[in-house]
Amino acid sequence: MPGLALPSLLAGLLLLGGCDTANKNTQEQTTADKPSDSALQDSTKANLEPAAKGEEQPPAGKLPDGVRPKAYRLDLTLDPRQDRFHGQVEIDIDIDNPTDHIWMHGNNIDVTHIEALLPGDTGKQKAEDKIVAAHYRQMLDSGVVRVDFAGGVPAGELTLRIHYNAPFDKNLAGLFKVEEQGDAYALAKSESIQARRFLPGFDEPGLKATYDISLTIPKGYVAIGNAPEIGRSDVEGGLEKVTFAQTRPMSTYLLSLAVGPFDVVERPAIPANKYRKQALPLRGFARKGRGDDLKYILDVTPQMLRIFEEQLQRPYPFKKLDIVAAPQWPSGATELSAAITYREERILVEGDEPAPGLRLALLGVHAHEIAHMWFGNLVTPPWWDDLWLKEGFATWGTPLALTIMEPDGGHDLNAAVSAIRAMKLDSLASTRAIREPITDNNDIRNAYDAITYSKSLGVIHMVDEYFGADTFRPALGRYIETFADGVADSPDFYKVIGEETNSPQLTDTFRTFVEQKGVPQLDLTFDCSTQGDAKIRVKQKRYKPLGSPIQEVGQRWSIPFCMRASNGVSQCEFLTESEQTVDVSGGECPKWVMPNVDGSGYYRFNLKEKHWQSLLAQFDNLSPTERLSLIDSAFAAFEAGNLKPAVLTEVIRLAASADKRQVVEAPLSNLSKYTAHYVDPKQAEYWRAFLSKLYSGRLEALQQQSDADSQLLYSRLIGFLALEGKNQEARKTLRDKAEQFTGFRQPRNADALDSDLYEAALTVAVQDSGKEFLNHLIKVRGELDDPRFESASASAIGRVTDPAQLDTIHSLALSDKLGSREAFGLIQNALAEPALQDRNWQWLQDNFSRVVNKIPEQWRRDTPRFAAHFCDQNSLQQVQMLFTQQQKLVPGYERALAQTEEGINLCMALKEKGQALAAELK
Ligand SMILES: [Zn+2]
């Protein structure tokens, strides 16, 4: 490893030595960019050239206006069996003003030749183009490049021609290479700003252009691009050149360049319909030998595509649809145009029917990615601060499409659960607004959070419900039509939606929820002082838990508010003031009020204790989504210090006996937190007895039921009881399953465990079946070709509780036996396990640079979240110290650190209340 780093370090020093005029800031930055630790590979670091004195500083975020790419012609030789790739690109660009330099992107690319071609006089041939010498310099670690032109270039069109080569990445970023079962595959993960690792260009979502791509690859290999393949011809050296048709205008983050010995599964074309004139070719790709496992996803694809075309009344925008199951893909899935690429374990299904949890996840991710073909790919946000316009709408489109496919599938509840999960993050002072300026490349990835995805889902759902699908959805279709093949930001969206619906309140709702952080909290009080003229007073403010640093600054939202009272009437009011009064229909003083009809409002509510009691008496009469809203509001009120433990206990009991899976599961994450932090050893026994009493009977009943939701709930509850409740019966059941499935001291039984239970069962066995089981599991991991098992077993191994096994798991984490995502899972779980948290933390501190070097590059900024399970002052200080010392290794870490620190502080602030809750159960 040091041997690898040395040449790069030397090259860097030489460059620095040659640039003695570098100004202080840049020099500091450049020095900071050098690896401080020889364990860092040179392939992850570029040789930078600092700005000369007086030279314009490189843009840390968006590129300056005035330079736009129109077309790329890319010709690459990609042989996944090699360590590097090479080729050339020509980029036609428009320049608004004469200049001697432009800014573009390129990261760790060796440019061997660059020149600009200026068109000759109008009407003349290309051969008469004037060639201008150019110089290419990477200025920032994030891949910002300056290109200088000798003598300058005029305004107008020019073509950049660049010859280059670069290494295949080994940390799943950019054009990376993986080996599976002895075969090598090359895959491009471009989102967000990784295309610049394999393509010098203009790597911003708003800078769309057409692409003509040809790839020279090993003969007989498959190449997957964004457009249909139109030609293949032999090249010497056992290679062949594959040419693809020209794409529609497209952003760099959507580029697909996948090469390898993939299985190809051809399906009948999806027939033309009212919206699409041509039949659509459909194919699936999986690594060699796994093509049959694509059957399930390919079977559901035509129907899903049709649903989106019908809902949006717009055709699918591309000429083919490829579904790619990619080994070790770093994200769950990525919506590469017409070549949607998934982490293989998310979509490959052995046999005919997936386990229920896998099936739900598969359908969810697939619907999300198909929705992107319109939201993001056809209409694109110009910059990452408008990420919600693609991610929010794809997330919202998912339950919409799935509910049409399966009306009773509970997809509306899953959507409600997702929006409520976002409220947890949105309760922090350090949360983001859905739309917030992003001025630095290192901050881009932080926008991929529950706020962008799930809060957006909640807000869009609220608007759709309140203003009506008939108003909102046609306007959405019009927005897509208006900006097709182009870009649209939030103001563009507000404008079209406002004009089309003619509802200024609708636009105000979007604006106030999208541009402001936080969850609105509605406090309701009954005013029945005048006979026959009952009123409900509603105050709005930002939700704030105990210990929160959130300042009251009079934040206001435009809230579509709907309540239902005991008279059975639902009433809606548009709330814009800090306090508003709603006249109760009929004037009678209501016995109870449900302040969030159908749970479709993105807000929390609180009531006086007696009104909580009367609402809880109606729990069984509320709709399932209303119950989810109630449970969330009750926990939120408790954690803000505004609800007594006795009332919360009643909510927990009611949820446990509800009929819908999602309602039963709703309190589990809070209960896990309370179990870990607030139950002292003296209380542990009756706390566990309480949990067992809550769920054991239910678990037994579920065993008799065969429907998917019952099976899912069974998996979730048995895992919870075994791991949080330390329920011995549950642990024995899981341990037996894990031992049978892995063939521990017995012949292997592959049917003993379905994939939904992998992690819980393996965790229990790792903790209870001794050192022999751990060694056995590590061996079995290497033998089974089952990515879901590999991932779950890595996480389970992290949860060992015997200190004598720590050395084994620590060396495994950093070894080649574990992929980079799996290593992340192991370490994350090791730090979540209370028994050995401190020892694991010490190991992380001692090995931080090695850990960073092991895990996927796009997750490095999230390393502060390894500390998310701490709840004490001393640990908090250690976390702060570690990241003060090591911040250079994890650019963009600030957001994750701030949220982790705040989470630890809030956890400490709730201690007294949490202990009171545990005491309540005596
Ligand atoms: Zn997405």
Distance CA 895, CA 883 (A): 12
Q: How far is ligand 1, taken at its centre, from the CA of residue 391, in Å?
A: 5
Distance CA 76, CA 165 (A): 9
Q: How far is ligand 1, taken at its centre, from the CA of residue 189, in Å?
A: 14
Does position 383 have pLDDT exceeding 90, yes or no? yes
Q: How far is ligand 1, taken at its centre, from the CA of residue 369, in Å?
A: 6
Q: How far is ligand 1, taken at its centre, from the CA of residue 157, in Å?
A: 34
Q: How far is ligand 1, taken at its centre, from the CA of residue 194, in Å?
A: 16
Nearest to 336 by CA among 361, 369, 362: 369
Measured in whole angstroms, how far is the alpha carbon of residue 280 from the centre of its chain? 29
Does position 45 have pLDDT exceeding 60, yes or no? no
Identify the pLDDT of residue 46: 58
DSSP string, 9-43: HHHHHHHHHH-TT--HHHHHHHHHHS-SSTTS-GG
Q: How far is ligand 1, taken at its centre, from the CA of residue 428, in Å?
A: 24
pLDDT, tens digit (0-9, with 9 covering 90-100), for 595-611: 999 999 999 999 999 99
HEC string for 165-196: EEECECCCCEEEEEEECCEEEEEEECCCCCHH
Report whether the peptide linkage leading into residue 529 is cis, meaning its omega lies within 30 degrees of zero: no
- Name all contacts of 267-272 with Cβ < 8 Å and 24+ positions apart: 267/298, 267/301, 270/301, 270/302, 270/305, 270/306, 270/321
Identify the pLDDT of residue 25: 32
Distance CA 817, CA 800 (A): 18
- Report whether 855 contacts 823 (CB < 8 A): yes
pLDDT, tens digit (0-9, with 9 covering 90-100), for 626-670: 999 999 999 999 999 999 999 999 999 999 999 999 999 999 999
pLDDT, tens digit (0-9, with 9 covering 90-100), for 449-477: 999 999 999 999 999 999 888 889 889 99
- Report whether 890 contacts 844 (CB < 8 A): no
Domain ranges of the chain: 2-44, 262-378, 380-514, 520-650, 762-855, 857-922
Distance CA 244, CA 319 (A): 12
Look at the block and give the residue holding tokens 């922090």: 428
- Report whether 814 contacts 850 (CB < 8 A): yes
283's tokens: 């194919």
Nearest to 224 by CA among 292, 323, 84, 85: 323
HEC string for 836-887: HHHHHHHHHHHCHHHHHHHCCHHHHHHHHHHHCCCCCHHHHHHHHHHHHHHH
User: Helix or strand or coil: residue 138?
Assistant: strand
The arithmetic mean of pLDDT across residues 358-371, rounded, is 97
H or E element: which one contains 824?
Answer: helix 820-830
Identify the pLDDT of residue 125: 53
What is the number of residues in the chain? 922
* Bridge partners, 91 (sequence order): 72, 160
Distance CA 852, CA 841 (A): 14
Identify the pLDDT of residue 13: 31
Identify the pLDDT of residue 12: 33
Task: State residue 618 phi and psi, 5-degree precision.
Answer: -100, 5
Q: How far is ligand 1, taken at its centre, from the CA of residue 332, in Å?
A: 9
Check for a shared fold between 380-514 and 520-650: no
Identify the pLDDT of residue 49: 78
Q: How far is ligand 1, taken at its centre, from the CA of residue 333, in Å?
A: 8
Q: How far is ligand 1, taken at its centre, from the CA of residue 331, in Å?
A: 10
Q: How far is ligand 1, taken at its centre, from the CA of residue 216, in Å?
A: 30
Identify the pLDDT of residue 55: 86
Q: How far is ligand 1, taken at its centre, from the CA of residue 448, in Å?
A: 9
Distance CA 766, CA 836 (A): 14
Q: How far is ligand 1, taken at its centre, from the CA of residue 38, in Å?
A: 36
Identify the pLDDT of residue 532: 95
Q: How far is ligand 1, taken at its centre, from the CA of residue 495, in Å?
A: 24
Nearest to 892 by CA among 440, 443, 438: 443
Give the least confident one: 16-20, 494-498, 786-790, 804-808. 16-20
Q: How far is ligand 1, taken at its centre, from the CA of residue 366, in Å?
A: 10
Average pLDDT over the chain, rounded to an integer:
92
830's tokens: 């090791």
Beta-strand pair 520-527/535-542: antiparallel
- The CATH code that applies to domain 262-378 is 1.10.390.10
Q: How far is ligand 1, taken at its centre, from the CA of residue 795, in Å?
A: 25
Q: How far is ligand 1, taken at its centre, from the CA of residue 445, in Å?
A: 13
Q: How far is ligand 1, taken at its centre, from the CA of residue 396, in Å?
A: 11
pLDDT, tens digit (0-9, with 9 covering 90-100), for 97-133: 999 999 999 999 999 999 999 987 555 555 567 999 9
Residue 896: which pLDDT band, with cuts at 50, 70 and 90?
Answer: very high
Q: How far is ligand 1, taken at its centre, from the CA of residue 205, in Å?
A: 14
Answer left, alpha or beta for residue 791, where phi above 0 means left and psi between -120 and 50 means alpha: alpha
DSSP state of 334: E
Return all residues near 514 (Cβ < 8 A) that are at least 6 apart: 388, 433, 434, 435, 456, 459, 490
Q: How far is ligand 1, taken at its centre, from the CA of residue 521, in Å?
A: 29
29's tokens: 């930055």
Q: How far is ligand 1, taken at its centre, from the CA of residue 471, in Å?
A: 25
Q: How far is ligand 1, taken at its centre, from the CA of residue 395, in Å?
A: 7
Nearest to 768 by CA among 735, 796, 797, 746: 735
572's tokens: 């809606």
Identify the pLDDT of residue 28: 29
Q: How far is ligand 1, taken at its centre, from the CA of residue 497, in Å?
A: 22
Q: Quote the CATH superfamily of domain 380-514.
A: Neutral Protease Domain 2 (1.10.390.10)
Q: How far is ligand 1, taken at its centre, from the CA of residue 606, in Å?
A: 34
Q: How far is ligand 1, taken at its centre, from the CA of residue 486, in Å?
A: 18
Q: How far is ligand 1, taken at its centre, from the CA of residue 361, in Å?
A: 14
In terms of Cβ atoms closer than 10 Å to its own Cβ (0-12, 13-18, 19+), residue 414 is middle
pLDDT, tens digit (0-9, with 9 covering 90-100), for 136-149: 999 999 999 999 99
Q: How far is ligand 1, taken at its centre, from the CA of residue 211, in Å?
A: 22
Q: Does 396 or 35 have the greater pLDDT score?
A: 396
- Report whether 720 contacts 754 (CB < 8 A): no
Q: How many CB atoms lie within 10 A of CB 311?
A: 18
Distance CA 746, CA 735 (A): 13
Q: How far is ligand 1, taken at its centre, from the CA of residue 580, in Å?
A: 38
Q: How far is ligand 1, taken at its centre, from the CA of residue 390, in Å?
A: 7
pLDDT, tens digit (0-9, with 9 covering 90-100), for 253-267: 999 999 999 999 999
Give the least confident one: 170-179, 399-408, 575-584, 808-817. 170-179
Outline where DSSP puts E strands in 219-293.
Answer: 222-224, 229-235, 239-244, 258-260, 263-270, 280-286
Q: How far is ligand 1, taken at its centre, from the CA of residue 359, in Å?
A: 18
Identify the pLDDT of residue 858: 84
Look at the block and give the residue holding tokens 């035509």: 302
Q: How far is ligand 1, taken at its centre, from the CA of residue 450, in Å?
A: 12
Q: How far is ligand 1, taken at its centre, from the CA of residue 399, in Å?
A: 14
Q: How far is ligand 1, taken at its centre, from the CA of residue 62, in Å?
A: 21
- Report whether 253 contacts 222 (CB < 8 A): no
HEC string for 432-457: CCCCCCCCCHHHHHHHCCHHHHHHHH
- Report whether 788 contacts 755 (CB < 8 A): yes
Q: How far is ligand 1, taken at its centre, from the CA of residue 368, in Å?
A: 6
Give the CATH fold of the 520-650 domain. Immunoglobulin-like (2.60.40)
